[in-house]
Each structure stands twice: as structure tokens, then as C-alpha cells.
Structure 1
Amino acid sequence: MSSKLAPHANHLGRDLAAHIPPEAEGVLSLGDELDGELSRIWPRAVVHLKVRSNDAHTLYAVAIARSLLEAHPEADAGVVLPAIMLHDVGWSRVPPGEVLEAIAPGSHRPDLVLLHEREGAELAASILADVGVPPARAARIVEIIDGHDSRRDALSVEDAIVKDADKTWRLTPHGLDTVMDWFGLSREAALRLCSARVHAHLFTDAARALARGLAAIESANLWDERTALELP
């Protein structure tokens, strides 16, 4: 689903550009973080993220991680942001026909999840070295990637934020759109599935609040009263 980026009309009839602030709290950019480090990582990562919409998923997860970092100033953004940008590169080394079997409800292929983590850690280590991330910090990033799905506990606050950003994406509009097409589900069924797989598995209060807000908005989208309105 594409977001509406330009208006369809101007019902007020006058230009309000002079009243729009150049910056606003909560509005994030991508490119200048970590002295441009993410901008150097992204082109090296995206070539490995063409599997099951992982490229867009990754950008949304980076944005979610950025918001969670605001609630956790003690966390090292230099670990969190590269880790979330690289966390799923390993799916590129899983046989394409088996990728969805790794995450489908009722699937019994934990070996595929472990494979993408292990391969992702290897790819991430190479990319981080290529962009000049110091070895000690790179080791912390790679450790998070190698276990971000299979490991039940969080190694650190940085690991917790990466895990939470990854999972919370499922309740975003893009997450639900994607899950619907993965498994042929209605939006209502996808929302129930994702909610069951997200809320009880988050580590941070900030992610829990964000996830409940996203689920509440999507719930309202499904109400008969909302679908009956002639609105976008």
C-alpha cells in the first residue's frame, strides 16, 4: 500500500506553507545518523533485502527503533541502528521457496530461522568491516543479529530495542498489508495473528505502548461504522 504523499484537493483554498515548521518532534530523517554511517550501510544491505519485502520492512523497523531510542537514552544508537538495518540480510541466503515456511503459523522449520540469523551475522560482519565500524562495536551488532528471532531473552537494552522494533512492524499498515499477502489472510485475520505474535513478546514499555496504539487504529479501520463512511 502506497502512502498518500500529495493532496487530492485544497478545500481551504489558500497556501499554508509559511506556517509549516521546518522541523517537528517525532519526524525522523535517515542519512545523517552516526555521521552518515547508516547511509553507507544501506546500499550494501538493500541488495540482500529483496526477499518478502524485507527492504521496506527494514526501513520501517529502523524508524521504530529510532523512536524507541528516544525512550531509552542509555541505549547505544551506534549498536541499535546498524543492527536493525542489517538484521534480516540473511534471508537472502535461505532458499526462496522455503522462506515463508520459516515464519508461517504452524510451521516447524526453526532450522530456517537459525540459518537466516547465522548467514545474516556473516553478511553483517562483512558489511560493517567494509564501512569502517570499529571491531568492538561491530561484534556487539553481529551478536544481536545472530539470535534476533530465535533467542527468547534480550542480551541488552540494545538487543531488546532491535527485537521490539522488528516485531512491532507487524502491526503497522505496511506490516499488515504484507502479512495478508504472505498467507492469503483478510485484514482482520492478519491483525489477530500479528497481535498474538507481538504484544506478549515485547521487552520495552515504549514498544508495548506503540504496538497497542497501532493495533487500536487498525481495529477502528475494521469497525462496521468506519467501513460505512465514504472516506479514504
Structure 2
Amino acid sequence: MNVKEISKYYQPIDYSKWDSSGKGKNILPKLEDTIYSIKEMDEKNPFEGELWRAALPFQDKRDDKGHAEITAYFGLRLLRFHPEATREIMMPSIILHDIGWSQLAEEERALFADYKIRKIYEPILRDRHQVLGRELAEKILKSLDYAGRINEAGWNGEKYQNHILEIISQHDTRPGFFSLSDFGVNDGLMRDADKLWRVTYIGMMTEVERSKMSDKPKTLEEEAEKTTKSFQKPGFLYSPISAEMARIELENALSYHKVKR
């Protein structure tokens, strides 16, 4: 599909109907209401629904309520445009990617949220959440017999699981993508879904609220400008489709902000 045609098929988030609880309610509607739902996961891939529920207690522990849900939301959409992706790798990677923050002490997470000192501690905290997240992800996958279920489907369960864990282990810090890997598209799309959170109204308002702790609190417009510059950097996103989705969602978020004010 031509990237310019994405706008014909892609509908941005409707914030007037979005539930901000961060409990997955926006991807838990009746199947007839939307093709992007955990119910669809349950019917077409039961493991994903089980995994979502198993990981939910560990989600959004970085003062970023809704991050896990929105990332999964974008992941499901990207799958529609990237049939070459391996859903059984990509979606578990997305669902589990940030659960490591739950393993850090509240004092550590507070350091990341504090704009005045974030730059000092951010590299260490990002590394720690990746390491701890990989460990927790492995425990959850094993508790649900992920590898065994993948083997039963006729694939290499251990290989799939190892790839999920490798993606999680450096999803914030790895330079570039697994472009030479046979599963590289899953790494790229997982990280794109993660980044797309930043162009949503909820994601940008999270940063605006955090900035109030600093000497220079930001407006949503200022956060949008900063985000736009980041997304325009060569190699920032894996997929051109993700870039077009980002453009659409950013415009959508700014429009909603104007109406909400």
C-alpha cells in the first residue's frame, strides 16, 4: 500500500470516546464495534488476551497511565498494514515491553519523573527497566507456557520466546533495528508502536504534567513541536507507515486540544 493512501484507511483515536482509566477498556469493546480489540485477540489468538491480563498489574508504572493500552492499540493497527510481521512475536513484545518499570522502587521511578534531575539518572533507569523487564517477561511467558503453545502451532517456541525477550531487553536503547534479522520487522514495529504514544493527546499531556515539576513548564503545543522534531530525524521510526500515522495522530491531538480548551 502506498503510504499516502494510509489516511484513507486509518482513523485516528476518538478522544471523546476514549476511556482514560488505562485498564484496556478501549481495546476491550465488543468485537462488532471494532476490529482492534482484546476480544478479537481472545477469539483469534487466545494467548494475547491471557497475556494482557497477566501483565496488567505491572503496566503504566512510570506515571504514564494508558501507555500500555495505547501502544497495544497502535500495534494492532500496524499489523493491518504489515502482514509480513509475526504477530505471535510482535504483540507479546508490545504488551510486555515496559513492565520492568514495575520492578523499580518508587523512589527510582520518581527520579525519572522529576524534570530537574531526569537527565542524570535516565540512562541508568532505562537500562534497569529493560533488564528487569526481560526477567519478568520471561516469568510471565513461562507461566502461560508460551513456547509450548507456539510449538503446538508448528513453530519454534523457544526461538520466538527468545526473540521477544531480546526485543524487550533493549527496546529503548538499542541503536537502529534488527534489520538483518529474520524477525527484524517485529522489533521495528514494536518500537514504532511505543513511540507513537508520544504523538497522542494522552502521551503529550503526560509530558506536560511532568514538566510542571521543572522551572520551565511546557504547553502541549511546545511538546508537540519537540515531538515533531524527534520524529523527523532519519531512522527514528522503522516504518514509513508509522510516520504517516504519527502525522495523522499529531494533527488529531492538536485539534482535540483546541476543542477541549
Q: TM-score by structure 1 length?
A: 0.79
Report matched runs for 1:205-224 at 5 Å. 205-220=240-255
Higher relative contact order (CA 8 A, sep 6+): 2
Correspondence 1:108 to 2:120: yes
Number of equivalenced pairs: 209
Percent identical residues: 25
- Structure 1: distance between partners of 2:248 and 2:105: 35
Q: Which amino acid aligns with 2:243?
A: R
Q: Which amino acid aligns with 1:164?
A: D
Report matched runs for 1:16-95 at 5 Å. 23=32, 27-33=35-41, 35-54=45-64, 56-95=66-105
Q: CA deviation at 1:221?
A: 5.0
Q: CA deviation at 1:171?
A: 0.7
8 A Cα contact 1:31 1:39, kept in partner = yes
Superposition RMSD on alpha carbons, in Å?
2.7
- Rg larger for: 1
1:157 to 158, 180, 185: 185
**For each residue in 1:186-232, what CA deviation from the matched residue of structure 2 results, as whole angstroms up to 9, or x when unmatched?**
2112222333333421110111001111222334456xxx56xxx88
- Structure 1: distance between partners of 2:101 and 2:229: 23
Gap change, CA 1:113 and 1:174, over 3 Å in 2: same
1:204 to 219, 239, 245: 239
Bigger Cα displacement from structure 2, 134-143 vs 196-205: 196-205
8 A Cα contact 1:102 1:108, kept in partner = no
Residue 192 of structure 1: aligned partner: 225
- Structure 2: distance between partners of 1:30 and 1:43: 10
**For each residue in 1:154-197, what CA deviation from the matched residue of structure 2 results, as whole angstroms up to 9, or x when unmatched?**
11110000100000111112111222112223211222233333
- Structure 2: distance between partners of 1:124 and 1:55: 20
- Structure 2: distance between partners of 1:96 and 1:187: 27
Gaps of 5+ in 1: 7-21
Residue 14 of structure 1: aligned partner: none
8 A Cα contact 1:161 1:204, kept in partner = yes
8 A Cα contact 1:83 1:144, kept in partner = yes
Q: Secondary structure at the match of 1:210?
A: helix
8 A Cα contact 2:60 2:67, kept in partner = no
Q: TM-score by structure 2 length?
A: 0.71
Q: CA deviation at 1:4?
A: 3.6
Gap change, CA 1:53 and 1:119, over 3 Å in 2: same
Residue 181 of structure 2: aligned partner: none
8 A Cα contact 1:83 1:145, kept in partner = yes
Gap change, CA 1:212 and 1:50, over 3 Å in 2: closer
Correspondence 1:117 to 2:140: no
Residue 145 of structure 2: aligned partner: 132
Residue 143 of structure 1: aligned partner: 166
Gap change, CA 1:131 and 1:150, over 3 Å in 2: same
Gaps of 5+ in 2: 1-13, 19-30, 148-157, 179-183, 213-217
**For each residue in 1:37-81, what CA deviation from the matched residue of structure 2 results, as whole angstroms up to 9, or x when unmatched?**
121112221111241345521111011011111221111010000
1:96 to 106, 129, 135: 106
Q: CA deviation at 1:102?
A: 4.2
Gap change, CA 1:202 and 1:28, over 3 Å in 2: same
- Structure 1: distance between partners of 2:211 and 2:92: 30
8 A Cα contact 2:85 2:186, kept in partner = yes
- Structure 1: distance between partners of 2:256 and 2:16: 17
